[in-house]
Amino acid sequence: MSLDKIKLDTVWMRLVDTEYGNDPDKMEQAFKTIYLEETGELFEGDVEVYHSSDSESTSNFKSHYDGTALSISSEGEHNLYVISQGTQGMEDWLYNIKGPFSGVTVKQVEAAKEFTEDAKRHFDINPEESEVISFNHSLGLHNSGMTGLTEGTFDEVYGVNGLMVSPYELARYDFAFAQEINNEFDLRNPKEIRDIPFAELRQFTVDYYRDNGTKIHNVVSEDDPLYSISEKFGFITEFSDTKIVDTNPDVSGLKEMIDKIPAPVIESLRVLATDYAEGDEKGGFNQSMNQLLGANLESLDEYSLGGAVKWYREHPEEVDQTISGLNDNLPRVLENIRLMEENSDVIFTELYKGGYITADQRKVMIEELGNLEKELTNLQEAVQFNVNMHDDDGWFDKIRRGIGDTGLAAVAAILYYKIPNSLDRIKESGTLESLEGIVESHSITEMLNALAGGNRSYVGKDLVFTSDAGGGDPIKVNMSAAMRLYTQGITSLEVKQTLISELETMVRDELEFAYKDEKWKVMREINNVESSPRSYAFELGQHRFPSYKVSFVNVHHEIYPLEQADLDEEIADMKLSVDTGFSYIENYRKAIEELFKEDEEVSTLFDLSRRI
Amino acid sequence: MSEFSIQESIVLIPEEDFSHKKSVLKRKIDEIQDEDQIFYKLANNVLVGEDQKGKVIDAMKDITTKRSSRDTGINERSLEKIPTIVRNFSNQVADMKTQSATITFKEVASLYD
């Protein structure tokens, strides 16, 4: 049995999708089930699993990287497959901004590399004899692609809706490449890389890595937002063979829409993202906003309590810092927001035409982006007003002299009320929820459905067959679930069988045997009383007769068998249910086979599923 | 020397509270109920969507629903019965601990005869 079938799109993509469950104990079973469902064959080789959370050297990076390595061998072949997760939680989305889009950090790439090296050691992989293959979704392809491209970590890298690599991050990660850039473009410090005309930098990068030995394959949805945006951002797609698939025919391709957004808008997004990422790397969200706007958001809580005058009187330093920060940062932010506002009609009209948002949502977004631009302009003017009061003694003093100054009140009000109001209206419009359809196109399931042929489709992580044999509408059967019923259903019935036996024993112990115990205690006590009545004088009421003592006792014991204290009938019913349960499962199989009587594969799947 | 006998009920062993047995038995039936849920979850995931119709489908749905409600019925009956059977046990044990006896008393002086 060759290992080649593991590289079938549907096999590895489902494997990547399953890996998101972060349950290494179930991965071997999941692999064999997917292999059977997709190839119709039983995988009889050996599978071993190693999760990144068990790799101490990978965890040391604290990068939020998640992955699973599978050592798979069959008939003399032995390969290592490393599955890397993509964007999962908020930390990963933040990482997208900080890493791939801004090139500020490369931690997950380092973690992906270390995990692969650790897995090679763990499974004693000999690179001369074994292939090291990487399967990825989204950000995972970016991480694996980066280390594959620069260090030859993998023989092959596969990705679904994979994020490619940018010259900035490559320069951050690959020292030799960075040196070459310095030489080629005469840079005096690494930050000057952002001054190189992008087209030139991009071409230089493509030429530099053109002959690397790693094969990268990327299967991408025409509607995938991450790929569309990243391509527009100048991520390099030439390093991979890319197959584009229309996964959502109901909407027009997102890529087409994004292509209509003018390049300067994209550049302005990059600037905002880089500012944000640098701030976040230094000190989290507040620091990011500080870096972006120059305003310390925490200080605004003080403003809300007592208005501008109180804010200033009690926290003059915070006010000074806010004004000073806004003065330095606002022009750049405003310039970028203005550029987006000028193009908001194009952006939101295209999203509306594409079917992603409603006409009302389009209207709200255009209006509110306009309001944001207007308020930020007002903010800049208010800040400027304060700054213009500056003289040689220092403009902070001037402000102090002008407590109650209208400019300061305006700054605070815009920051505290106007901007959040616009953001609230955007939130209330439901636009963000409507755009979730775009995120769906980033999913593996949508891709699997687009790739599926014949009567096959997918729901979540499961394989579905559709039958026309029902006489009415086509009938959809979840084959993965049917096989789980066929295999795990038997296990479940066996578990129930054990539980019923335990219940039976328990009823016997707690009632029937316990009654016998009590009976024995009573008989022992009767014996004690009868053989030694004087020891029980008090209990026998001797005190009632002062001149008499107990001399003899005869207990006329009447002890009946325990009655109506059992669950016999219910336990018998339970046992019968289990017995018929086994035939119920067999009948279920037959019913499904009946639906797919033209398709012999269904019977084979059932037969082989119990051998996994 | 005089003696006399009386016949009365005597408590041989004090009564005991056996109500903890209810929770011991209930826990086991809860486990059975949980396992039933696992089983029917497996079965109910096979057909995609609840509105699918057809002869085979209807038969499969029908038998699954019947089985499921029958199992639920058995479990509920068992749960309802537990307090009764533990009470029956308790009462019968209490009855057993109180027995009728003939007690003979002798006058004190005569005991030294």
A404: confidence class by pLDDT, cuts 50, 70, 90: very low
Q: Which stretch of A120-124, A279-283, A364-368, A375-379 has the lowest confidence by average pLDDT?
A: A279-283
Task: Tell me the average pLDDT across A119-135.
Answer: 95
**Residue A596: what are its φ and ψ, rounded to 5°?**
-115, 45
A526: confidence class by pLDDT, cuts 50, 70, 90: very high
**Would you state the pLDDT for residue A217?**
96
Percent of chain A surpassing pLDDT 90: 53
CA A382 to chain centre: 43
**Quick one: CA torsion of A186, A231, A19, A444, rounded to 10 degrees?**
-170
- Shortest Cα distance, chain B CAs vs residue A345, angstroms: 40
A571: confidence class by pLDDT, cuts 50, 70, 90: very high
The type of residue at A212 is: N
Task: Tell me the average pLDDT across A404-408.
Answer: 54
**Would you state the pLDDT for residue A403?**
43
* Bridge pairing between strands A46-51 and A548-555: unpaired
A389: confidence class by pLDDT, cuts 50, 70, 90: low
Which residues lie below 8 Å from residue B45, measured CB to CB, with a gap of 6+?
A: A462, A478, A481, A484, A485
**Would you state the pLDDT for residue A521?**
96
Sheet with strand A456-459: strands edge to edge: A456-459, A462-467, A475-478
Calculate the average pLDDT of chain A: 85
Task: Tell me the average pLDDT across A261-282.
Answer: 66
Whether residue A541 is predicted with pLDDT greater than 90 in this model: the reply is yes
Locate A605 and state its tokens.
């799947």
pLDDT tens digits, one per residue of B88-100: 999 999 999 999 9
Contact at CB, B108 and A547, closer than 8 angstroms: yes
ipTM score assigned to the predicted complex: 0.93
Where residue A430 falls (left for φ over 0; alpha for ψ -120 to 50; beta otherwise) is left
Contact at CB, B55 and A557, closer than 8 angstroms: no
Where residue A40 falls (left for φ over 0; alpha for ψ -120 to 50; beta otherwise) is left
A residues 454-473 near B, CB within 8 Å? 459, 462, 464, 469-473
Locate B1 and state its tokens.
């020397």
A270: confidence class by pLDDT, cuts 50, 70, 90: low
Q: Are A473 and A595 in contact (CB under 8 A)?
A: no
Shortest CB distance from A472 goes to which of B18, B47, B53?
B53
Whether residue A142 is predicted with pLDDT greater than 70 in this model: the reply is yes
**Would you state the pLDDT for residue A307?**
58
**Which of residues A276 and B7 earns the better pLDDT score?**
B7
Whether residue A16 is predicted with pLDDT greater than 70 in this model: the reply is yes
Alpha-carbon gap, residue B92 to A559, rounded angstroms: 9
Locate A564 and state its tokens.
């109506």
Q: Does A391 touch chain B (CB under 8 A)?
A: no
Shortest CB distance from B3 goes to which of A499, A539, A551?
A551
**Would you state the pLDDT for residue A305?**
47
B residues 11-50 near A, CB within 8 Å? 11-13, 18, 21, 24-25, 28-29, 31-32, 35-36, 38-39, 42-43, 45-49
What is the secondary structure of A82-146 as a DSSP string?
A: EEE--S-SHHHHHHHIIIIIT-S--HHHHHHHHHHHHHHHHTT--TTTS-EEEEEETHHHHHHHH
Q: Taking Cα atoms as reference points, which of A421, A344, A345, A419 lies closest to residue A380?
A: A419
**Would you state the pLDDT for residue A190?**
85
Q: Does A503 touch chain B (CB under 8 A)?
A: yes
**Would you state the pLDDT for residue A300?**
55
Contact at CB, A522 and B106, closer than 8 angstroms: no
Which residues lie below 8 Å from residue A211, measured CB to CB, with a gap of 6+?
A: none
**Would you state the pLDDT for residue A377?**
85
- Shortest Cα distance, chain B CAs vs residue A328, angstroms: 58
Alpha-carbon gap, residue A340 to A263, rounded angstroms: 11
pLDDT tens digits, one per residue of A162-203: 999 989 889 999 999 999 999 999 998 888 998 899 889 999
pLDDT tens digits, one per residue of A358-385: 899 999 989 988 888 888 888 777 777 6
Q: Does B3 touch chain A (CB under 8 A)?
A: yes
Which of A501, A570, A582 to mutate to test binding with chain B, by most B CBs within 10 Å of its CB? A570
Task: Tell me the average pLDDT across A61-76.
Answer: 93
Where residue A221 falls (left for φ over 0; alpha for ψ -120 to 50; beta otherwise) is beta
pLDDT tens digits, one per residue of A472-505: 678 899 999 999 999 999 999 999 999 999 999 9
pLDDT tens digits, one per residue of A233-245: 778 988 999 999 9
Whether residue A309 is predicted with pLDDT greater than 60 in this model: the reply is no
Locate B57 and state its tokens.
């489908």
Q: Are A382 and A322 in contact (CB under 8 A)?
A: no
Alpha-carbon gap, residue A588 to B60, rounded angstroms: 7
B8: confidence class by pLDDT, cuts 50, 70, 90: very high
**Would you state the pLDDT for residue A374?**
87
**Would you state the pLDDT for residue A110?**
95
CA A169 to chain centre: 23
Q: Taking Cα atoms as reference points, which of A246, A555, A81 lies closest to residue B8?
A: A555
Closest residue in chain B to residue A489, using alpha carbons only = B39
Locate A364 and state its tokens.
């709200």
